[in-house]
Amino acid sequence: MPFVLLNTIFCRYLKPRNDALTAFPRKPALLLALVVLTGLAAHPAGAQSAIAEGEKLAFDRGKGNCLTCHVIKGGDLPGTIGPELKDIKAKYPDRNELVAILFDETKRNPQTMMPPFGRNRLLTDQEISAIVDFLQTL
């Protein structure tokens, strides 16, 4: 077997050692997200601020840090590892698809470089939701 491809295989056998954080309970985040979402539906002004918040989270180096790998309109010093994020709504009309990509892209593509932001608790469900709102404006 071409061992150059082995990394997906190893990660199936060996639990990454530093993933202690994945053990956190998820319920509170879900609840919070629900509360926020209900709030949003009632107040369109809230949607605007969720988009702004999503952009901030996406660009923040300590949070999404999406510019590490993606060109995104309005962001500086992007990397080239992932595709440019544009025309997102046309490509992914269903926002759940975007949530899934952010939650754990290794589900779609075991080899992907994209970190599993949700699964590994890099972002909360609420933060992912805000970023998805922002992505849908691109």
11 binds another protein per the rule CB under 8 A: yes
CA 48 from chain centre, in angstroms, equals 19
Confirm or reject binding of residue 63 to another protein (CB under 8 A): no
Task: Please state, in angstroms and rounded to a whole number, the distance separating the CA atoms of residues 33 and 93.
Answer: 21
Among 51, 102, 124, 126, binds ligand HEC (CB under 6 A): 102
By CB under 6 A, residue 129 contacts ligand HEC: no
Is the Cβ of residue 37 or residue 65 nearer to another protein in the bound state?
65
* Residues 39-78, interacting with ligand HEC (CB under 6 A): 58, 64-66, 68-70
Nearest CA to 105 among 136, 83, 75, 74? Answer: 83
The verdict on 109 binding ligand HEC (CB under 6 A) reads yes
Per rule CB under 8 A, is residue 1 in the interface with another protein?
yes
Q: What 3-state class would DSSP assign to 72?
A: strand
What is the distance between the alpha carbons of residues 37 and 86, in angstroms, rounded to a whole number? 24
